[in-house]
Amino acid sequence: MNKDQIKGRIEESKGKVREVTGIILDDEAMEAEGNVQKNVGKVQTGFGNLKEDIKKSR
Reported confidence tier of residue 48, pLDDT bands at 50, 70, 90: very high
Domain residue extents for the chain = 3-57
User: What average pLDDT score do residues 33-56 get?
Assistant: 97
The pLDDT assigned to 58 comes to 87
Angle, CA of 56, 8 and 54, to the nearest 5°: 15
At 26, phi and psi to the nearest 5?
A: 55, 45
Give Rg (Cα) of the chain.
14
Task: State pTM to two decimals.
Answer: 0.89
**Single-letter amino acid, residue 42:** K
